[in-house]
Structure 1
Amino acid sequence: MSDDRPVPVIIDCDTGVDDALALLFAVRHPGLDLRAVTCVAGNTDVAGVVRNTLTVLEIAGAGDVPVARGAERPLIEPARSARHVHGEDGMGDIPGLPAPARAAADVDAVTLLRREILASPRPVTLIPTAPLTNIALLLRTHPEVTRNIERIVFMGGAVATGNATPVAEFNVWHDPEAAAILLTAGVPITMYGLDVFQRVTVPGADVRRLRASAEPGARLAGDLLAHRPSAPEPDGDDPRGGLGDAGAVCAVADPAGLTTAALPVEVSLAPGPARGQTVVDRRPRPGEDELHHGTRDRHLVDVALEVDVERYVKLYLAVVEGRRP
């Protein structure tokens, strides 16, 4: 951060388990000014995403941060949820979560995004942690917003291995056309992909401490971290949990913990096993394809390649537990 003023941020999410972890952190970090949250179908249906988002913000003590409902399906594909990972309610089916006391804004997500981006006195950092449908609709409908966007830090994609398919990460796979549109935004973009996403995990002892906390937000973070669908019971032998999407917000709050490289990235849109793959070119020089057919118009993205795991875990725990980061 260049000065002591909080960084204005907007999160676009599909609140499941790790989006909720990201929201808890964004609300409580003193260096972030969460101006709005927009919702899109992904981990669960968009109505569930709105409900989950409002609940998490209330537990986190977010006040009147506006929340808006967005796209209920991708641009072309049908909606395909990840309830097998995030539970039937998208929040790990944690018992006793309260229903939200307030409703979403009376405008749609694209309208809210445009309003809050253009109204911000400083350029906004946009943090999509979900399929990129809302962002694509915003960029195509209101391209003027890019003049007040500092950077887009999105959780999505992978340099190496995917999770939705062998090569495609879920958020990009869910709406590949939207991800391709994102790459044409004309603003700096950071790709926080699976290569770093899967590495940032919170040790079991810390998860147990959070779950025992009397403070509702810290306790919710512990319950979310302990949600592991492959475990025979919530605690198992070691309730180690991944920060997931929250790592992308940590990277905005503390970019020095992330190692990136400016690399050409394109999204595979053709039908078949590679659809939704983020093709990241790490070659030091052009290959035969470029020599014979010319270089395609590809977009440079700051791709996350390494992450300081301990740094981000310590940062996350300090912020969520109300200690000085």
Structure 2
Amino acid sequence: MPGRPVPVIMDCDTGVDDALALLFAVRHPGIELRAVTCVAGNTDVDGVVRNTLTVLEQAGAPEIPVARGAERPLLEPARPATHVHGTDGMADLGLPAPARRPAEVDAVTLLRREILASPRPVTLIPTAPLTNIALLLRTHPEVTRNIERIVFMGGAVEVGNATPVAEFNVWHDPEAAAVLLTAGVPITMYGLDVFRQVVVEAEEVHRLRASGDRGARLAGELLAHRPAAQGEPPEAEEAGGLGDAGAVCAVADPGGLTTRPLPVEVSLAPGPGRGQTIVDRRPRPGEAEIHHGERERALIDVALAVDAARYTRLYLETVGRP
């Protein structure tokens, strides 16, 4: 990537695909990973901290500060996804405990410090429930002056996964997602519509698993954790989706993502629609706006298409870099 690396801070609930995202971020020459903050989501927050430190260690990353953040959403109890990511959140690979230790400050303090200390505006990449980010924005709104963009993995235009309409990260803490959408900085929503499309084929997963490099080998093991979907042939079992890592690919190579600025809001009401990201793709206002007047809504760059082969190739080239 030409030019100076993009200063990046990631906010993770490190399970399988957050780990894939971290492996990419520490190895791509166009990204300067300044810090990682941890939040409850795929597993409990202490497990997230442990997993994050383990991934950075396995990747041979430099000493990057890692901080513990919120252990539950703003209003609701934590609801982990260990049924997807394994009991330890990392595919139950039995990885050794990390020698690295987390920072002595909390996630919000670390976020504020690293954002304001950066000589150039920072890109935030949350790949988790947005609790830490909401707390940061409400506690220290001055940080927005040094945020270039927030690229978050979350939401869905079409179909959810936690519910028929809600994606897990937004569903886990809808109020936090609603705060994010009013941050007053440019935002890109890398949602399930593109998340599901970027897949590494089984042959490449086998190659990574056989690598002599710890980081590349870990990427292969994590990718192989994805079970085959119903109706897939047996040879597809070790093919794995990049998931959250695609959002980091979009920062390193934005040309692979097609976005459109659209009004987005989060459904906060109880019931089956809670946590849905309502994306307005209508070409003109409807009856609700005509009769009740248009209200101001956040305009977000929503990812609608992705060059999956381009991002898969980018990922494989990057994680193989010592």
TM range (shorter): over 0.9
Aligned to 2:244: 245
CA distance in 1, matches of 2:76, 2:294: 29
Counterpart of 1:127 in structure 2 is: 125
Q: How far, CA to CA, are the matches of 1:28 and 1:200 in structure 2?
A: 19
Find the aligned partners of 2:207 and 2:229 in 1 and give their Cα distance: 19
Find the aligned partners of 1:71 and 1:293 in 2 and give their Cα distance: 38
- Alpha-carbon distance between aligned partners in 1 of 2:292 and 2:248, rounded to the nearest angstrom: 40
- In the aligned structure 2, how far is the partner of 1:230 from the partner of 1:108? 38
Q: Give the Cα–Cα distance (whole angstroms) in 1 for the partners of residues 229 and 6 of structure 2.
A: 38
> Which of structure 1's runs of 4+ aligned residues deviate more than 6 A?
none
Out of 55-64 and 67-76, give the one that drifted further. Answer: 55-64
Q: 1:298 to 1:202 in 2, by over 3 A?
A: same
What is the distance in 2 between the residues matched to 1:318 and 1:229? 24
Q: Output the amino acid matched with 1:123.
A: P
CA drift of 1:157 comes to 0.1
**Alpha-carbon offset, residue 274 of structure 1:** 0.2
Partner of 2:151: 153
Cα distance, 1:268 vs structure 2: 0.2
The within-5 A match list for 1:76-155 is 76-95=75-94, 97-155=95-153
Residue 237 (structure 1) shift: 2.9
Following the alignment from structure 1 to structure 2, what is the Cα–Cα distance between the partners of residues 199 and 267? 23
Match for residue 17 of structure 2? 18
Question: Letter of the aligned partner of 1:225 in structure 2?
Answer: L
Shift of 1:228: 2.1
CA distance in 1, matches of 2:235, 2:147: 44
| Residue aligned with 1:271, SS | coil
1:39 and 1:50 in contact (8 A); partners too: yes
| Maintained 8 Å contact 1:85/1:229 | no
- Give the 3-state SS of the residue equivalent to 2:148 in structure 1: strand
Cα distance change of structure 1 residues 46 and 216 upon mapping to structure 2, 3 Å threshold: same
Distance 1:152 1:50 in 2: 22
Deviating more after overlay: 27-36 vs 289-298 = 289-298
Q: Which runs of 5+ in 2 are unaligned?
A: none
SS in 1 for 2:10: strand
* SS of equivalent to 1:11: strand
Residue correspondence of structure 1 range 272-283 to structure 2 within 5 A = 272-283=271-282
Amino acid at match of 1:50: V
Residue 145 and residue 69 in structure 1: after superposition, are their counterparts in 2 closer, same or farther (change >3 A)?
A: same
| Aligned equivalents of 1:102, 1:65: Cα separation in 2 | 10
How far did 1:224 drift? 0.2
Q: Deviations over 1:262-319 (max 9, x none)?
A: 0000000000000000000000000000000011221000000000000000000000
Q: Deviations over 1:73-119 (max 9, x none)?
A: 00001000000000000001013x11110110000000000000000
Partners of 1:172 and 1:128 in 2: CA distance:
11
Superposed CA RMSD in Å reads: 1.4
Structure 1 distance, partners of 2:261, 2:235, is 40
Name the counterpart of 1:9.
8
Pick from 178, 188, 191 the counterpart of residue 190 of structure 1.
188
Q: How many residues get paired?
A: 319
Task: State the Cα distance separating 1:173 from its structure 2 match.
Answer: 0.1
Aligned partner of 1:204 in structure 2 is 202
**Amino acid in structure 2 at the alignment position of 1:192:** Y
Aligned equivalent of 1:42 = 41
TM-score, normalised with respect to structure 2: 0.97
1:247-266 counterparts in 2 under 5 A?
247-266=246-265
Secondary structure, counterpart of 1:265 in structure 2: strand
Name structure 1 gaps, 5 residues minimum. Answer: none
CA distance in 2, matches of 1:39, 1:319: 24
- The residue aligned with 2:266 is 267
User: Which amino acid counterpart does residue 37 of structure 2 have in structure 1?
Assistant: T
Q: 1:7 to 1:138 in 2, by over 3 A?
A: same
* Structure 2 CA distance for aligned equivalents of residues 230 and 198 of structure 1: 13
